[in-house]
A = this chain, B = another copy of it.
């Protein structure tokens, strides 16, 4: 049955911006890389930018078909930076990168959005 052998390949996640504790320096330093922090702090609404990246990290784990397990180290292994054109881009490191390569995943494409209240992320992995 092909339907019972369907590997995950997409990931969606959402969160109320107010539920992501970006006012807590320990939370931020544990879960975001220096480059992510520098970017978010320059944005018009840092809490919205941190929240968007937070859901982006969770959605990336879903698209990879693994659980984030709430491990802080793992969250930093999913780094979301904007490229020259301003497009959010996923960079994998460490164990996350190893798992992706093992599964034959060539890249993870991402889109982020936030309204006044809610941040949402969508991700899709590509095998070629």
Interface set of A (CB-CB < 8 Å, partner B)? 1-16, 19, 59, 62-63, 65-67, 83, 85-92, 97, 106-113, 115-118, 120-124, 126
Contacts and interface: CB of A to CB of B under 8 A. Distances in A.
Contacts of A83: 4, 6
Contacts of A6: 83, 89-90, 107-109
Given A10-B110, A85-B65, A16 B115 contact: yes
A47 to B, nearest CB: 16
B109 A9 contact: yes
B111 A10 contact: yes
Given A97-B3, A124-B9, A115 B113 contact: no
A16 B115 CA distance: 7
A19 B118 CA distance: 14
A59 B112 CA distance: 10
13 contacts: A3-B89, A4-B83, A4-B89, A8-B87, A8-B89, A8-B110, A9-B126, A10-B110, A10-B124, A12-B120, A14-B113, A14-B118, A122-B122
B115 A15 contact: yes
Contact of A13 (B1, B8, B92, B113): B113
A103 to B, nearest CB: 11
